[in-house]
Amino acid sequence: MVCKITCTKKGRAAFTLVELLVVSAVGLVVLLATLSFFTFSSRSCVALNNYLDLDYRNQMALDKMSREIRQVNDLTGYSSTNLTFQDYDGATLQYIYDPQARALTRIKASQNETNLLLTECDYLQFSIFQRTPSNDTFQPYSTTTVANTKVIELTWNCSRTIMGSKANTESMQSAKVVIRRK
Protein backbone atom coordinates (compact mmCIF):
# COMPACT_ATOMS: atom_id res chain seq x y z
CA MET A 1 0.00 0.00 0.00
CA VAL A 2 2.88 2.36 0.68
CA CYS A 3 4.17 1.84 -2.84
CA LYS A 4 0.80 2.67 -4.41
CA ILE A 5 0.50 6.00 -2.62
CA THR A 6 4.03 7.08 -3.61
CA CYS A 7 3.56 6.04 -7.25
CA THR A 8 0.25 7.90 -7.49
CA LYS A 9 1.77 11.13 -6.11
CA LYS A 10 4.58 10.98 -8.65
CA GLY A 11 2.07 10.62 -11.49
CA ARG A 12 0.23 13.73 -10.32
CA ALA A 13 3.37 15.90 -10.11
CA ALA A 14 4.08 15.94 -13.89
CA PHE A 15 2.31 17.72 -16.77
CA THR A 16 0.58 15.77 -19.44
CA LEU A 17 1.53 16.33 -23.08
CA VAL A 18 -1.78 18.10 -23.79
CA GLU A 19 -1.26 20.52 -20.87
CA LEU A 20 2.27 21.27 -22.03
CA LEU A 21 1.09 21.99 -25.60
CA VAL A 22 -1.72 24.29 -24.39
CA VAL A 23 0.63 26.26 -22.13
CA SER A 24 3.20 26.54 -24.93
CA ALA A 25 0.55 27.80 -27.38
CA VAL A 26 -0.76 30.39 -24.91
CA GLY A 27 2.80 31.52 -24.13
CA LEU A 28 3.58 31.85 -27.84
CA VAL A 29 0.46 33.97 -28.44
CA VAL A 30 1.39 36.25 -25.52
CA LEU A 31 4.98 36.55 -26.81
CA LEU A 32 3.83 37.39 -30.35
CA ALA A 33 1.39 40.01 -29.03
CA THR A 34 4.16 41.58 -26.95
CA LEU A 35 6.56 41.65 -29.92
CA SER A 36 3.87 43.15 -32.19
CA PHE A 37 3.14 45.88 -29.64
CA PHE A 38 6.87 46.61 -29.25
CA THR A 39 7.35 46.84 -33.03
CA PHE A 40 4.33 49.11 -33.46
CA SER A 41 5.43 51.34 -30.56
CA SER A 42 8.97 51.60 -31.93
CA ARG A 43 7.78 52.60 -35.40
CA SER A 44 5.38 55.15 -33.96
CA CYS A 45 8.09 56.66 -31.77
CA VAL A 46 10.57 56.88 -34.68
CA ALA A 47 7.91 58.42 -36.95
CA LEU A 48 6.92 60.99 -34.33
CA ASN A 49 10.52 61.98 -33.58
CA ASN A 50 11.27 62.23 -37.29
CA TYR A 51 8.20 64.38 -37.92
CA LEU A 52 9.10 66.70 -35.02
CA ASP A 53 12.69 67.07 -36.27
CA LEU A 54 11.53 67.75 -39.84
CA ASP A 55 8.97 70.30 -38.64
CA TYR A 56 11.58 72.00 -36.43
CA ARG A 57 14.09 72.30 -39.29
CA ASN A 58 11.41 73.65 -41.63
CA GLN A 59 10.29 76.23 -39.10
CA MET A 60 13.87 77.35 -38.45
CA ALA A 61 14.49 77.79 -42.19
CA LEU A 62 11.24 79.73 -42.61
CA ASP A 63 12.03 81.99 -39.65
CA LYS A 64 15.55 82.74 -40.93
CA MET A 65 14.35 83.47 -44.46
CA SER A 66 11.46 85.66 -43.28
CA ARG A 67 13.71 87.69 -41.01
CA GLU A 68 16.31 88.23 -43.75
CA ILE A 69 13.84 88.97 -46.57
CA ARG A 70 12.09 91.62 -44.47
CA GLN A 71 15.41 93.48 -44.10
CA VAL A 72 16.64 93.44 -47.72
CA ASN A 73 16.80 96.61 -49.80
CA ASP A 74 15.50 95.14 -53.06
CA LEU A 75 14.85 92.02 -55.08
CA THR A 76 17.33 91.97 -57.98
CA GLY A 77 16.75 88.53 -59.52
CA TYR A 78 13.91 86.04 -59.54
CA SER A 79 12.87 82.64 -60.80
CA SER A 80 10.45 80.17 -59.25
CA THR A 81 13.41 78.37 -57.59
CA ASN A 82 15.92 81.22 -57.08
CA LEU A 83 15.82 84.59 -55.35
CA THR A 84 18.58 87.21 -55.45
CA PHE A 85 18.44 90.26 -53.20
CA GLN A 86 20.47 93.34 -52.44
CA ASP A 87 20.83 92.91 -48.68
CA TYR A 88 20.68 95.72 -46.11
CA ASP A 89 24.50 96.02 -46.21
CA GLY A 90 24.57 96.31 -50.02
CA ALA A 91 25.85 92.75 -50.55
CA THR A 92 24.11 90.02 -52.52
CA LEU A 93 21.91 87.50 -50.71
CA GLN A 94 20.68 84.45 -52.64
CA TYR A 95 18.36 81.55 -52.00
CA ILE A 96 18.82 78.72 -54.50
CA TYR A 97 16.77 75.53 -54.67
CA ASP A 98 18.29 72.48 -56.35
CA PRO A 99 15.54 69.92 -57.14
CA GLN A 100 18.01 67.11 -57.88
CA ALA A 101 19.74 67.52 -54.51
CA ARG A 102 16.39 68.31 -52.83
CA ALA A 103 18.12 71.20 -51.02
CA LEU A 104 17.71 74.94 -50.46
CA THR A 105 20.96 76.88 -50.11
CA ARG A 106 21.54 80.39 -48.77
CA ILE A 107 24.53 82.34 -50.15
CA LYS A 108 25.67 85.61 -48.56
CA ALA A 109 28.29 87.22 -50.83
CA SER A 110 29.87 89.70 -48.40
CA GLN A 111 30.70 86.97 -45.91
CA ASN A 112 31.60 84.30 -48.50
CA GLU A 113 29.11 82.16 -46.62
CA THR A 114 27.06 79.27 -47.99
CA ASN A 115 24.50 77.62 -45.72
CA LEU A 116 22.29 74.64 -46.40
CA LEU A 117 18.88 75.75 -45.10
CA LEU A 118 16.72 72.81 -46.13
CA THR A 119 17.37 69.22 -47.07
CA GLU A 120 14.99 66.49 -48.21
CA CYS A 121 12.84 69.13 -49.90
CA ASP A 122 10.57 67.57 -52.54
CA TYR A 123 9.03 70.78 -53.83
CA LEU A 124 9.87 74.47 -53.49
CA GLN A 125 8.50 77.51 -55.27
CA PHE A 126 8.97 81.24 -54.87
CA SER A 127 6.31 83.72 -56.09
CA ILE A 128 6.45 87.50 -56.25
CA PHE A 129 3.64 90.02 -55.72
CA GLN A 130 2.94 93.73 -55.57
CA ARG A 131 1.73 95.20 -52.33
CA THR A 132 -1.61 96.36 -53.70
CA PRO A 133 -4.45 94.00 -52.72
CA SER A 134 -6.55 92.61 -55.57
CA ASN A 135 -10.33 92.45 -56.10
CA ASP A 136 -11.44 93.55 -52.63
CA THR A 137 -9.43 90.77 -50.98
CA PHE A 138 -6.28 90.75 -48.96
CA GLN A 139 -4.41 88.89 -51.70
CA PRO A 140 -1.76 91.03 -53.43
CA TYR A 141 -1.51 91.25 -57.22
CA SER A 142 0.92 88.90 -58.86
CA THR A 143 3.77 90.61 -60.70
CA THR A 144 6.31 89.51 -63.26
CA THR A 145 8.90 92.24 -62.73
CA VAL A 146 11.30 92.38 -59.82
CA ALA A 147 11.08 96.20 -59.74
CA ASN A 148 7.43 96.03 -58.59
CA THR A 149 7.98 93.27 -56.04
CA LYS A 150 6.97 94.02 -52.46
CA VAL A 151 5.81 90.57 -51.27
CA ILE A 152 7.62 87.21 -51.62
CA GLU A 153 5.71 83.98 -51.19
CA LEU A 154 7.66 80.92 -50.05
CA THR A 155 6.11 77.47 -50.46
CA TRP A 156 7.79 74.12 -49.95
CA ASN A 157 7.16 70.53 -49.04
CA CYS A 158 9.78 68.32 -47.38
CA SER A 159 9.56 64.63 -46.58
CA ARG A 160 11.62 61.78 -45.21
CA THR A 161 11.47 58.04 -45.59
CA ILE A 162 11.21 55.96 -42.44
CA MET A 163 11.66 52.21 -42.64
CA GLY A 164 10.94 52.25 -46.37
CA SER A 165 7.86 54.51 -46.41
CA LYS A 166 6.96 58.22 -46.25
CA ALA A 167 4.08 57.74 -43.80
CA ASN A 168 3.44 60.73 -41.51
CA THR A 169 6.73 62.42 -42.36
CA GLU A 170 5.76 65.34 -44.57
CA SER A 171 5.99 68.98 -43.67
CA MET A 172 4.44 71.74 -45.79
CA GLN A 173 5.38 75.39 -45.26
CA SER A 174 3.99 78.50 -46.90
CA ALA A 175 4.38 82.16 -46.02
CA LYS A 176 4.13 85.58 -47.57
CA VAL A 177 6.91 87.95 -46.53
CA VAL A 178 6.81 91.71 -47.08
CA ILE A 179 10.01 93.56 -47.98
CA ARG A 180 9.90 96.38 -45.41
CA ARG A 181 12.46 98.75 -46.93
CA LYS A 182 10.73 99.05 -50.27
Confidence at 70, pLDDT banded by 50, 70, 90: very high
User: Where in the chain are the domains?
Assistant: 20-178
Sign of CA dihedral 5, 11, 12, 13: positive
Closest CA to 179 of 108, 74, 105, 92: 74
pLDDT of residue 167: 59
- Say how far apart CA 29 and CA 13 lie, in whole Å: 26
- Say how far apart CA 19 and CA 159 lie, in whole Å: 52
pTM for the model stands at 0.75
pLDDT of residue 59: 92
Examine the pLDDT at 42 and tell me if it is beyond 90.
Answer: no
pLDDT of residue 3: 54
Q: What is the mean pLDDT of residues 46-70?
A: 90
Question: Vertex 119, ends 55 and 169: CA angle to 5°?
Answer: 40
Confidence at 92, pLDDT banded by 50, 70, 90: very high
Radius of gyration of the chain (CA): 31
